[in-house]
Structure 1
Amino acid sequence: MNTNNDNKKRFIVLAIFLLGIFMGAIDSGIVSPARTVIKNSFGISESLSVWMVTIYTLAYAVAMPIVSKLSDRYGRKKVYLTSIVIFAVGSFLCGISNFYGNFTFFLIARVIQAIGGGGIMPIANAFIGNSFPPEKRGTALGFVGGVYGIATILGPTMGSSILDIAGVDHWGWIFFINLPICLLILALSYTLKENLGENNKRMDLKGSLVLSIMILSLMYALTNLNYFNFSESIKDLHVYPFLILFVICLPLFILIESKADDPILNLRYFKERQILLTLILGFITGVGLMAVVFIPQFAENILKIKTGNGGYLVTLMSVFAGISAPLGGKFIDKYSAKLVTVLGMLCTAFGTFFLAFFTTAHPSFASIMIGLIFVGFGMGFTMGTPLNYLMLSFVGERESASALSTLSLIRSIGVAVSPNIMINFIAEAGKSVQGKVMAVMPEPSAPTFPGSQYVSGYFDMSKMTNGGGISSTAIEKLKSADVTNVVDVLKDFSSNMLDKVIPTIKDKILGAMSAAPKGAASQINLDKIFSDWKLDYLNKIESARATIENTFQTAISAGYRNMFITAGVIAVIGLVAALLLKNKKKPVSQ
């Protein structure tokens, strides 16, 4: 009977924290599809709109170690529920800013939300890990990894769905959706017992301040650093001053922590070989996690499907991540965390290399799904379950939340670095697309009509394109075209171009015809000739549709191929680090 009661209590504990993890994880991506909508709502620039994501990431990273240390000190239930309330208040204020307030108010609300979010993940992991016996800990953490993985991947899709239902003028609902979840967590928490706390040592305020400055400066610099143009990018005012600030603060932080009674970040984590390997693996999983962000666009290009529908492929991938995460937890209980980590890195490496070399060369639904299945399984195995398990086995119970927040912080740094690395592969490929597509565009042939021998030189394409300015709208559409609409965009572009230059050519023709033999000009109807000629050229572009689409697809796929090769290499490095792990649980000396 007692066993049944214990199991029931553990189930409620699991539900309380899994709901929090789900809510916190979806919020990191749910804003992405709404960013343009929110930008337009506030009437701000594109560069300024990035701050709605950046400021959350920075505040979240700063909050994690501080809030986690507070939970180790004052009790995890108390600090976790406080974090839930803060997150709810921040979410409410973010939603309200849709109807009242301005962008500054919205950013302040995002910071409040991030401070609450920073306490959810590490405290939940620590509470769950310490609430279950060692023989069941892996299974419990497996559910955490599964929920976190599914929520992270589904975040953008959920954001799009909420916008579709509520409408773009009511984007605040992507934040209001958090409120009932917060209320449910608070309602369930009455059965939750306090976990640890009552640390009488002095709070490390100096260390907290310096660590906050270090995190902010490093994360901001890494977010703005262009790794493809490193030498120039590092000279940017948004990069090098912040890197210098980080370097200056680092020895000061080490000095403060070495003398602190209860350090905000335990320096022993970086001295103990097994913990250091776990942190390295955390960074690698953070880098690999962000590669998933580009999978929807990759799927759209490979399958030639409408922009926005690629997210459904990511949803399918999240199913496999959701299956493998709890399965990995059971494997940990039965075998070891090392085995699951190795298995995860192997799956990730195989999946990314398959996407890079096979799917890009043989684009099909089957080929992309094979790659995504392996990547999904790899993510599920490595998302957090084995690494969280390892950290909990290497540290004492009293500092488990702080240790897990350190792992989350290192993972967050990987997340910050990854997009700037990955997106540059696609950007580099994008630069070559226009030239390659224009190379396979059909050339317009000069129309024939009585007297055309006197004016044939006026139909040279290079002369035509100099005949008038193309609209900026047409040029922007061409730059943002995808494989599903590139032919239609080219037809619109060509139609726009011809409409601009035809009047000029007609005037030149009439001038040339006036010097031709008498009667030549009277035998032609220039309006009909040019109308037929334009229609014929647009039909030629349509006839070349398959060639143009395949050229566009191949050029863009080259960027994705290089991106996935890089992700595969990173996974191989992670595999090497995982193989160096020991199966033996070796706790840090207290």
Structure 2
Amino acid sequence: MAKNNRTLLLIIFLLGIFIGALDTGIVSPARTVIASQLSISSSSSVWIVTIYTLAYAVSMPIAGKFSDRYGKKKVFTLSIALFGIGSLLCGVSNYAGSFSFLLAARVIQALGGGGIMPVATAYIGESFPIEKRGSALGLVGAIYGVSTTLGPTVGSALLNLVGNSNWGVLFLINVPICIGVIITALIVKDEGIVKEPKKMDVLGSIIVTLLILALMYALTNLQFHDFKNSIASTKVWPYLLAFIILLPIFIIVERKSLDPILNLKYFTNREIALTLLISFITGAGMMGIVFVPQFGENALKLKTGSGGYLVTLMAIFSGISAPLGGRLVDKYSPKLVLSMGFASTLIGSSTLAFIVAKNPSFISLLIGLAFIGLGMGFCMGTPLNYLMQTNVDPSETASAQSTLSLIRSIGVAISPNILIGFISEAGKNISPKLMTILPKVTIPGSNTAVSMTQGGSSSISPDQLAALQNADVTTITDVLKQFSGSMIDKFSPMLKQQLQNSKLPKGVTADTLVAQWKSDYLAQIDAIRSSIENMFQSTLNEGFAKLFIGAAAIALLGLIFTLLLSRKTKPVSSN
């Protein structure tokens, strides 16, 4: 292939990876906005993300197999076209005002998205000689890592620019890029490796689709911090049962297939099996970054929504380490780069857990995020993609990359449900602890001092409870003042009646006395603002500390399995 053609194809494949990875995070900040605009509940809005994740996971192995059979450029171009059509329809749903329309469009978008990353990675890897493959895949890791971490920040910036009522723009920006990529792909000729077609594994394709859907849906709904009740839910156990039943059937079908949709030999080859296991661990650990903005806001006492730049800092370090890791893979080995990545993540997560959470400062936070960003860049793509491509037959690199991406997606799906439990537990402890430091209420005309919550939790309205749960370290004092003011207002009519029946000083009315009492009490809360904020911050940070200890444990596990890899990586046939 001519050098110019290869360069153009490299550019369009990288562009495809960029928009595909960006879209996984760009929708996150808009979910509540979309829910409000389309008049759906918050729980229903989760399907905007869930249905994309499910369709994306299903499409990966099928797209990978098709690209090995019919050509990577053809399948990649079709995937980009589907992604573009889905993006266009998602944007149109903003103005059609239909949630069902949006979900259908997200499925189309995901079916295209699932074929972008693995096919592009396989093509880029096989287009370069083995001595330069690491550097080439380093570009993939850099683009994927930066776009994934920047997704939520870009989404928030776009919403601020165009307004919440025009959230469809988040999807429509993909359309011109997709058109440009398709036109370029159609012009450029390609002579990629194509596998000799055998009978298509239709039955295997159907079973693997059902298998992935069952597993991913169950894992998405499984809450590990409430495991007993969660696994008994009809949103979990029937799907896990379906997975358990389908798995042996799938294995039997694939063993008999001439050209299996998922090569079972990947799981019996030691190096490939270890690579897939490490990919799962990487996916699970990667999701720790979801909690970084909230942690940074709490640690530095920033307003909600202003922690996005912390993710940008991580993206910068990730963008530095990904291409550097690619060059180190070429010069040394993927084992070394993975070890550096997991070690960096371990150091970064431990810094956040044991230093920042206990004694917050911007410098210590920056150091922790820098190490996590470096770790992400080293682990995200290059070494794992390199290991996969050099350990399978050249005619099935896309299928192998799809399997790698699928296993990582399972890790991504399971991770938040494991880690969120630490934050949920800390959140439950905040209200009781705060109530203990609120000033006692001394009722006018009486020496009796009572707690603001003496009536029990039943005296707190759902709206007040929601306000307390959604407060951050910068708003908690004002939320407590509003809560206390509303509680005083509840007692005021009864108190005024009692005061009117008692002897009041001349010129003093029951109304003025109660108003002054309320004003004085709210002033007492203001006086302990610092104590309230510190109590809120430290309690939530305890949960974050446990979360990042969990992330560090995941990184340590990844490091241990990485050390089991062979020092040298040589291409082997999977046939």
TM-score tier, shorter chain, comes to over 0.9
Assess if the C-alpha contact under 8 Å between 1:465 and 1:497 holds in 2.
no
SS of 2:155's partner is helix
Assess if the C-alpha contact under 8 Å between 1:470 and 1:496 holds in 2.
no
Residue in 1 aligned with 2:371?
A: 374
Distance 1:520 1:531, change over 3 A: closer
Q: Give the Cα separation in 1 of the matches to 2:265 and 2:359.
A: 49
Q: Deviations over 1:306-331 (max 9, x none)?
A: 10011111111100000000000000
Residue in 2 aligned with 1:144?
A: 140
Q: Identity of paired residues, percent?
A: 53
Matched to 1:564, the amino acid is F
Matched to 2:439, the amino acid is P
Residue in 2 aligned with 1:540?
A: 524
SS of 2:441's partner is coil
Which residue of the other structure, out of 393, 397, 400, is the alignment partner of 2:394?
Answer: 397
Q: Give the Cα separation in 2 of the matches to 1:520 and 1:213.
A: 76
Once the two structures are TM-superposed, the CA of residue 463 in structure 1 deviates from its matched residue by 8.8
Assess if the C-alpha contact under 8 Å between 1:468 and 1:500 holds in 2.
no
Q: Give the Cα separation in 1 of the matches to 2:352 and 2:466.
A: 30
Residue in 2 aligned with 1:306?
A: 303
Q: Give the Cα separation in 2 of the matches to 1:275 and 1:307.
A: 43
SS of 2:132's partner is helix
Distance 1:474 1:229, change over 3 A: closer
Q: Give the Cα separation in 2 of the matches to 1:547 and 1:349.
A: 33
Assess if the C-alpha contact under 8 Å between 1:77 and 1:192 holds in 2.
no
Distance 1:85 1:469, change over 3 A: same
SS of 1:97's partner is helix
Residue in 1 aligned with 2:168?
A: 172
Which residue of the other structure, out of 87, 105, 110, is the alignment partner of 1:109?
Answer: 105
| Between 41-50 and 283-292, the greater mean CA deviation after superposition | 41-50
Q: Give the Cα separation in 2 of the matches to 1:205 and 1:521.
A: 90
Residue in 2 aligned with 1:480?
A: 470
Assess if the C-alpha contact under 8 Å between 1:340 and 1:382 holds in 2.
yes
Once the two structures are TM-superposed, the CA of residue 522 in structure 1 deviates from its matched residue by 5.0
Matched to 1:537, the amino acid is Y
Matched to 2:152, the amino acid is P
Assess if the C-alpha contact under 8 Å between 1:30 and 1:156 holds in 2.
yes
Once the two structures are TM-superposed, the CA of residue 471 in structure 1 deviates from its matched residue by 5.2
Assess if the C-alpha contact under 8 Å between 1:37 and 1:168 holds in 2.
yes
Assess if the C-alpha contact under 8 Å between 2:298 and 2:473 holds in 1.
yes
Which residue of the other structure, out of 497, 502, 509, is the alignment partner of 1:525?
Answer: 509
Residue in 1 aligned with 2:274?
A: 277
- Runs of 5+ in structure 2 lacking a partner? none
Confirm or deny that 1:293 pairs with 2:278: no
Residue in 2 aligned with 1:580?
A: 564
Which residue of the other structure, out of 323, 328, 345, is the alignment partner of 1:331?
Answer: 328
Distance 1:344 1:527, change over 3 A: same
Assess if the C-alpha contact under 8 Å between 1:468 and 1:501 holds in 2.
no
Residue in 1 aligned with 2:233?
A: 236
Matches within 5 A, 1:406-485: 406-447=403-444, 452=445, 455-457=446-448, 460-461=450-451, 472-485=462-475
Once the two structures are TM-superposed, the CA of residue 476 in structure 1 deviates from its matched residue by 2.0
Distance 1:238 1:464, change over 3 A: closer
- Runs of 5+ in structure 1 lacking a partner? 514-518
Distance 1:287 1:535, change over 3 A: same
Which residue of the other structure, out of 77, 85, 90, is the alignment partner of 1:89?
Answer: 85
Which residue of the other structure, out of 237, 241, 247, is the alignment partner of 2:244?
Answer: 247
Assess if the C-alpha contact under 8 Å between 1:474 and 1:496 holds in 2.
no
* Poorly superposed stretches of 4+, deviation over 6 Å: none
Distance 1:194 1:44, change over 3 A: farther
Once the two structures are TM-superposed, the CA of residue 469 in structure 1 deviates from its matched residue by 5.6
SS of 1:135's partner is coil
Normalization by structure 1: what TM-score?
Answer: 0.94
Q: Give the Cα separation in 2 of the matches to 1:348 and 1:445.
A: 52
SS of 2:96's partner is coil
Residue in 1 aligned with 2:124?
A: 128
Once the two structures are TM-superposed, the CA of residue 456 in structure 1 deviates from its matched residue by 3.5
Once the two structures are TM-superposed, the CA of residue 271 in structure 1 deviates from its matched residue by 0.3
Residue in 2 aligned with 1:516?
A: none
Normalization by structure 2: what TM-score?
Answer: 0.97
Residue in 1 aligned with 2:489?
A: 499
Q: Deviations over 1:374-417 (max 9, x none)?
A: 00000000001100000001001100000010000000000110
Distance 1:543 1:274, change over 3 A: same
SS of 2:95's partner is coil
Q: Deviations over 1:287-341 (max 9, x none)?
A: 1111111110000000100100111111111000000000000000111111000
Which residue of the other structure, out of 209, 224, 241, is the alignment partner of 2:221?
Answer: 224
Which residue of the other structure, out of 31, 34, 40, is the alignment partner of 2:36?
Answer: 40
Q: Give the Cα separation in 2 of the matches to 1:297 and 1:505.
A: 42
| Between 577-586 and 207-216, the greater mean CA deviation after superposition | 577-586
Assess if the C-alpha contact under 8 Å between 1:433 and 1:555 holds in 2.
yes
| Between 436-445 and 574-583, the greater mean CA deviation after superposition | 436-445
Once the two structures are TM-superposed, the CA of residue 226 in structure 1 deviates from its matched residue by 1.3
Residue in 2 aligned with 1:349?
A: 346
Confirm or deny that 1:552 pairs with 2:536: yes
Once the two structures are TM-superposed, the CA of residue 101 in structure 1 deviates from its matched residue by 5.3
Residue in 2 aligned with 1:53?
A: 49
Q: How many residues get paired? A: 573
| Between 102-111 and 466-475, the greater mean CA deviation after superposition | 466-475
Matched to 2:481, the amino acid is K
Assess if the C-alpha contact under 8 Å between 2:265 and 2:574 holds in 1.
no
Matched to 2:106, the amino acid is R
Q: Give the Cα separation in 1 of the matches to 2:194 and 2:331.
A: 31
Once the two structures are TM-superposed, the CA of residue 197 in structure 1 deviates from its matched residue by 2.3
Distance 1:91 1:520, change over 3 A: closer
Distance 1:329 1:240, change over 3 A: same
Once the two structures are TM-superposed, the CA of residue 196 in structure 1 deviates from its matched residue by 2.2
Q: Deviations over 1:503-547 (max 9, x none)?
A: 211212333x2xxxxx65656433222222222211111110111
Once the two structures are TM-superposed, the CA of residue 428 in structure 1 deviates from its matched residue by 0.6
Q: Give the Cα separation in 2 of the matches to 1:462 and 1:393.
A: 66
Assess if the C-alpha contact under 8 Å between 1:278 and 1:387 holds in 2.
yes
Once the two structures are TM-superposed, the CA of residue 249 in structure 1 deviates from its matched residue by 0.7
Distance 1:446 1:104, change over 3 A: closer
Which residue of the other structure, out of 469, 475, 500, is the alignment partner of 1:510?
Answer: 500
